[in-house]
Amino acid sequence: MIAQAAQQGDPAARETMDSALDALAEAICHVVALLCPRRVVIGGGVALLGEDALFDPLRRRVQQIVFAPFAECFDIVPAALGEEVVVHGALAMARKNSENG
């Protein structure tokens, strides 16, 4: 709802989205500096915000602040399973719990 309100021009929602994107970009930059992953995968409901609301502004923010030697070493992509990841995780947890007891 916040992303939708931000896209419709709500100033408080826009500020909230900007703050969240800034925090996520900073966290990704720390991960990149520490681990140098080839791909950063964003999943769950937030990934459903799509390219315009999430991925494009996130990629721009990361490129502005990432440690320069790593700037071209990774991609930021949505999880391939989308929301299905929750179901897959629940099934894996149930299977693990049934095997342990």
The rounded radius of gyration (Å) of the Cα atoms in the chain is 16
Per-residue model confidence as pLDDT tens digits over 44-64: 888 889 999 999 999 999 999
Instruction: Report the first-to-last Cα separation within the chain, whole angstroms.
Output: 41
Backbone phi, then psi, for 77, in 5-degree steps? -135, 155
Highest mean pLDDT among 2-6, 23-27, 96-100: 23-27
DSSP letter assigned to residue 42: E
3-state SS, residue 41? strand
Supply the pLDDT for residue 80: 83
- What residues are paired with 75 via a beta bridge? 39
pTM, two decimals, is 0.80
Q: Tell me the pairing of strands 75-78 and 39-42.
A: parallel
Supply the pLDDT for residue 44: 80
Spans of all domains in the chain? 2-100
Per-residue model confidence as pLDDT tens digits over 71-90: 999 999 998 876 676 777 88
Q: Rounded mean pLDDT of the chain? A: 91
In CATH, the number for domain 2-100 is 3.30.420.40
Residue type, 35: L
